[in-house]
Amino acid sequence: MMDIYREYAKADGEIHQEEDAIGKNLDFPRTYDSSFEKKRIIPESTYGIDKDLDFRLTYPSTFDKNRIIFGAPGTGKSYRLKKEAEEVFGDNIERVTFHPDYAYSHFMGCYKPQTTPEGNVRYCFVPGPFLRVLVKALRSGTEGEVKPHLLLIEEINRARVAAVFGDAFQLLDRVDDEYSEYDIAVSEDVKEYLSEELGCSPDDCERIRIPGNMFIWATMNSADQGVFPMDTAFKRRWTFEYLPIDPENAPDARIPIKIPGVEEDVSWNALRKAINDRLSSMRINEDKLIGPYFLKPSVLESDENGRIKNLEAFNKSFKNKILMYLFEDAARQRRQELFKGCTDCHRYSSLCKEFDKIGLDIFGDDLIKQA
């Protein structure tokens, strides 16, 4: 819908003409009052009088509306949500990744400069992912068939979530896992955006709720460095689902591999579990263990004999991903205990050189025997 403005003021009783954002002349009067307040006017024909804008839409589902998947790195959190989301929501998905600089203005929306066809710069309200999904969910309620819509947040705890959600935090309380129990007031900018997009009166958008057909799912990895803690009030509004470190049906979990320093083949899962057992014996928290999807399936692809197809690619990935993670994060303070077979494990470059020479022997013979 075009941005149409009508300003009111008294200026010698003159009638002026207003131009819209693309330079077309529109025939309606413009006058001025003493407040000089600019107001957005939506033609009455677009109010959608025959539409019923309802923020209390319901959508029964076996999935929780506010849901967080968490677990150790490589447990398949993103893969799990992606697969389930595509089956339930189809194309009605918007994905966003939180980061330390992510803010409320990114999440909800803010004014940003835009260039007009005439080359001028003007500031327009640009909605964030939360409002975009909210509008799509509400719009489906006015079109006869209520469809589910998903806002998928990756790495939700890498931003200060309380600050990102702001007053929308109140909306996370839902009635029987459906629409928001409480509503919140919105700014004039948000009210005008909603009235435009939904074809309703601005008065109908003064207060909003999360409708029952809007889902918010997220992934969380508490092992990441630099993550921000969540307070209890925020946590209790979500359903948390933990992905185990050793799932029963992990794909490619039993692919045999052969690497330098090992006389017999050892499966990826057995090697991974042996490393995890060593970490656990060192009292390393479970959220820092290695999941089955830490390495990409393409790296663990096997040939017709069940052995690793590309040994060079595996060695490179193991060195640059597994060893880097263990050295810099999981076993940062306990390197000597983990890399028992390495003469110099205090420098990553030395550790890589040792791996190129002796392979898994950097962990010591006892770990190889356990694998």
- Region 334-353: what's the mean pLDDT? 90
Q: Which of 119-133, 196-210, 219-233, 342-356 has the lowest mean pLDDT?
A: 219-233
Which residues share a beta bridge with 69?
Answer: 219, 241
DSSP H or E stretch at residue 147: none
Domains in the chain, please, with CATH?
1-41 (no CATH), 66-242 (3.40.50.300), 256-370 (no CATH)
- Supply the angle between the helices 188-198 and 129-142 in degrees, to the nearest 10: 40
- Which stretches of 48-201 are DSSP H helices? 77-89, 104-108, 129-142, 161-165, 188-198
Percent of the chain clearing pLDDT 90 (strictly above): 44
- Region 282-307: what's the mean pLDDT? 86
Instruction: List, as one string, the DSSP characters of 323-353.
Output: IHHIIIIITTT-HHHH-TT-S--SSHHHHHH
pLDDT tens digits, residue range 7-34? 333 333 333 333 333 333 333 333 323 3
Q: Which residues contact 367 (CB under 8 A, 6 or more apart)?
A: 274, 275, 278, 340, 360
CA distance 366 to 175: 55
DSSP 180: B
What is the pLDDT, as a whole number, of residue 26?
Answer: 35
Q: Which residue has the tokens 């909605």?
A: 127
Looking at the predicted structure, is the pLDDT value of residue 190 above 60? yes
Say if strands 18-19 and 5-6 run parallel, antiparallel, or are unpaired. Answer: unpaired
Please give the torsion angle defined by the CA atoms of residues 116, 4, 55 and 83, in that order, rounded to the nearest 10 degrees.
Answer: -20
